């Protein structure tokens, strides 16, 4: 089962950057029902942490929703830390902050970056491979 595997990986801080990136991707897929184009466009400049979780303001339109509102994705906080996408996201953002230093490019503000230098934003096909 996927959740057993993800729990068994251990503490977020102890994961390799590759494992952490892939785990965050999987937790986001399991908890935020958005398409891959939305996931690849999630922007850290448009996220807000709340006690209940995290909200991402979309920066692109979803395919089925062109009514003037971009919408948002809500990622809930879970009691079980090893399966909590918000805890995983916090760890990922802390680890990736050095990758984003000095970057003024909007591309570097995307949530999911490659875990190898030069840490470019990933495509939807990369996220699919990670899953």
Q: Does a structural domain hold residue 128?
A: no
- pLDDT grade, residue 35 (50/70/90)? low
Does residue 129 sit within a domain?
no
> Residue 16 belongs to what domain range?
2-115
CA-closest candidate to residue 91, choices 3, 14, 30, 26? 14
Answer whether residue 51 is part of any domain: yes
Residue 34 lies in a domain: yes
Number of domains in the chain: 1
Length of the chain measured in residues: 131
Contact between residue 39 and residue 127 where contact means Cβ atoms under 8 Å apart: yes
Structure tokens at 50: 């709340």
Report whether pLDDT(122) > 60.
yes
Q: What is the pLDDT of residues 71-98, one digit of tens each?
A: 777 888 998 989 999 999 999 999 988 8
Whether residue 68 is predicted with pLDDT greater than 70 in this model: the reply is: no
* Burial state string for 26-43 with b = 16 or more CB within 10 A and e = fewer than 16: bbbbebbebeeebbbbbb
Classify 65 as helix, strand or coil: strand
- Mean pLDDT across 11-34: 88
DSSP 39-54: HHH-BGGGEEEETTEE
CA dihedral 58, 49, 19, 11 (to 10 degrees): -160
Closest CA to 46 of 122, 111, 128: 111
Indicate the pLDDT class of residue 43, thresholds 50, 70 and 90. Answer: confident
Tell me if 124 is assigned to some domain: no
Residue 64 has a pLDDT of 57
**Statement: residue 61 has pLDDT above 60:** no
Residue 67 lies inside a defined structural domain of this protein: yes
127 lies in some domain: no
Q: How does the average pLDDT of the chain come out, rounded?
A: 82
Any bridge partners for residue 54, and if so which?
49, 75
């Amino acid at each position: 089962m996927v959740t057993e595997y993800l729990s068994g990986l251990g503490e977020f801080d102890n994961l390799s950057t590759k494992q952490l990136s892939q785990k965050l991707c999987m937790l986001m897929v399991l908890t935020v029902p958005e398409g891959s184009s939305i996931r690849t466009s999630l922007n850290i400049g448009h996220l807000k942490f709340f006690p209940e979780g995290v909200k991402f303001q979309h920066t692109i339109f979803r395919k089925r929703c062109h009514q003037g509102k971009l919408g948002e994705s809500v990622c809930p906080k879970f009691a079980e830390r090893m399966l909590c996408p918000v805890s995983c996201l916090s760890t990922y953002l802390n680890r990736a902050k050095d990758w984003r230093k000095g970057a003024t490019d909007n591309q570097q503000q995307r949530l999911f970056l490659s875990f190898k230098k030069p840490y470019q934003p990933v495509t939807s096909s990369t996220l699919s491979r990670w899953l």
